[in-house]
Structure 1
Amino acid sequence: MNDGAVAAPTDQVSGLFQGVRLTPTQRRIAHCLVQHAPTVAYLSAAEVAELAGVSQPSVTRFAVALGHDGYPALRRRLRELTAGAPDGPADAGNELQQAVRAEIGNLDRLAGQLADRERIAETGRLLAASRPLPVLGLRAAAPLAAYFAYFAAKVHPDVRVLDDGGSLLTDRLEQAAEAGAGALLAFVLPRYPRETLDALREARAAGLRVVAITDSPVSPATEHADVVLPAAVGAQLVFDLHTAPMTLAMVLLQAICDADPADTQRRLEAFEASAARRQLFLG
């Protein structure tokens, strides 16, 4: 974000929850506030409760957990945060253009988060050192896990995609830990499959450190992850857009490559030699 720029409503509201330990119910409320900023600043506690699918007392307790006397005080704070936030251009175009522009905004916010290069670099070193490296993605997150793993396998000796749930998932997590894995990369995206969160708990029980790429700093993944890397999901179309999470995945892969440049170069050269010998590509 450029100096002097007005932060987007979602960024302003997300800042309220940084460093605050929230219960699962409170995370649902926080996620609701982020998703519906700035309009939520003008809703009653009962309306917020209905929107988040929780009880009205839960909304009040949530406000107190953030350091306010009650929900009215929180609502005043929300109005302060979003009063000067831009709602977008006056002529935003049709609904398809609006969806694409919203993704541009998601990418812009992601770029701002990446100003802290050391955090990404440290996470890259953690994942690069994990041998094997399990990569978890269930349901809607499965294609992202496969996409990341396809490229990661070119620079990492043992990448294991975990894209099927069921009883075998825990077996595969335990097998990865027994084989020497130290970390798990998990893609946790709406609608947050229950099996994914169960798998994160199992991974930590097996001694793995969990790195989660998820859509919000208050998503359900935060309770079960050691490192949370948020990237917003576009929700303007019938099905979600995952542009920012996929971009973040490739940024993280770059950090893995940077963790050991010499080994990365050696592995890439070996792959290119093999590809040329087998004539894998036309160009």
Structure 2
Amino acid sequence: MNDSAVIAAPPTDRVLDLFQGIRLTPTQRRIAHSLVQNAASAAYLSAAEVAELAKVSQPSVTRFAMALGYDGYPALRRRLREIAAAGHGRTDPEQPVGNEMQRAVRAEAQNLNTLAEQLTDRDAVTTAGTLLADSRPLVVLGLRAAAPLAAYFAYFAAKVHPDVRVLDSGGSLLTDRLEQARTAGASAVLAIVLPRYPREVLDALAEARAIGMSVVVITDSAVSPAAEHAHIVLPAAVGAQLVFDLHTAPMAMSMVLLQAVCDAAPADAQRRLEEFEQSAARRQLFVG
């Protein structure tokens, strides 16, 4: 990673802006996601290289560019180069380059700033909170890297929701457990879907929709593969500067969403919290 990509604001958001408000096919979503994930180098890739990156055909890349309103991929690439040039021209003299660990943490701070700006419009989070608050039981799905975040959300959600079910393992039983939750009355599922996007979780989201559940997804990008299966997408960027991804923004988004769940039924949430505190005091669960 070069230093200018750290000092300058990354072009990811401006690349993502190219796709806002445009209905993309699943194939086009893969192309868009590849461009977002490789925003720093996308401007210098040929149509064939983009096709290879997204695992699609070269004509699909051309059709994708035309769907965005460009004459073809060369015109889109010129726009990507303009975005890259603008990004490299914007520096922050107060933010030193530092070592790779410092750069990774600063990038996470930027991800949180982006999330804060995104939450200026709270409609999506508010609607998602209401859907999840009304679901009995509430299903929380997260596999592989997302499993700890699903457990984290579910741990706190259980303090304000009477029935939270965590689905954190794949296999044939995953669909069984989804169907059982639906039969028990579940109307919504929260899925946390992070790179590298387990195929099992995407199949589970398709199944959830097929059986009539509302799907809320926390994922790293509005053009993530999970977005295709979601009714509401809550994007929160993932840090990719270290050997393993950092999930600071998705964790923050999960807690923001839980706040929206509480806000959707404040009296019930407060009552359940008070009952928990009384129980915790009686059992002397905590020392401080």
TM-score range, shorter chain: over 0.9
Match of 1:48 in 2: 50
Match of 1:113 in 2: 118
Q: CA shift at 1:51, angstroms? A: 3.2
Give, in whole Å, the separation in 1 of the partners of 2:52 and 2:185.
Answer: 46
Letter in 2 for 1:49: A
Match of 1:153 in 2: 158
Does residue 208 of structure 2 align to residue 206 of structure 1?
A: no
Contact 2:10 2:40 in 1 (8 A): no
Match of 2:3 in 1: none
Does residue 69 of structure 2 align to residue 67 of structure 1?
A: yes
Contact 1:133 1:184 in 2 (8 A): yes
Contact 2:124 2:232 in 1 (8 A): no
| 1:83-102 correspondence runs (5 A) | 83-86=85-88, 89=92, 91-102=96-107
Match of 1:267 in 2: 272
Contact 1:139 1:193 in 2 (8 A): yes
Number of equivalent positions: 278
Q: Which runs of 5+ in 1 are unaligned?
A: 1-5
121-130 or 33-42: bigger deviation = 33-42
Distance 1:246 1:88, change over 3 A: farther
Match of 1:3 in 2: none
Q: CA shift at 1:166, angstroms? A: 1.1
Does residue 278 of structure 2 align to residue 276 of structure 1?
A: no
Does residue 134 of structure 2 align to residue 132 of structure 1?
A: no
Is the partner of 2:128 in helix, strand or coil?
helix
TM-score normalised by structure 1 residue count: 0.93
Q: CA shift at 1:176, angstroms? A: 1.0
Contact 1:177 1:206 in 2 (8 A): yes
Q: CA shift at 1:119, angstroms? A: 2.3
Give, in whole Å, the separation in 1 of the partners of 2:97 and 2:41.
Answer: 18
Does residue 16 of structure 2 align to residue 11 of structure 1?
A: no
Q: CA shift at 1:88, angstroms? A: 5.5
Is the partner of 1:185 in helix, strand or coil?
strand
Contact 1:173 1:206 in 2 (8 A): no
Give, in whole Å, the separation in 2 of the partners of 1:61 and 1:103.
Answer: 34
Q: CA RMSD in A?
A: 1.7
142-151 or 88-97: bigger deviation = 88-97
Contact 1:12 1:82 in 2 (8 A): no
Contact 1:188 1:212 in 2 (8 A): yes
Letter in 1 for 2:179: E
Give, in whole Å, the separation in 1 of the partners of 2:199 and 2:150.
Answer: 17
Letter in 2 for 1:25: T
Give, in whole Å, the separation in 2 of the partners of 1:49 and 1:170.
Answer: 33
Give, in whole Å, the separation in 2 of the partners of 1:154 and 1:125.
Answer: 16
Contact 2:9 2:91 in 1 (8 A): no
Give, in whole Å, the separation in 2 of the partners of 1:121 and 1:219.
Answer: 21
Q: CA shift at 1:77, angstroms? A: 1.8
Q: CA shift at 1:177, angstroms? A: 1.0
Does residue 223 of structure 2 align to residue 221 of structure 1?
A: no
What CA deviation, in whole Å up to 9, does each residue of 1:242-279 have, x standing for no partner? 11001000000000011111111111110000000000
Is the partner of 1:67 in helix, strand or coil?
coil
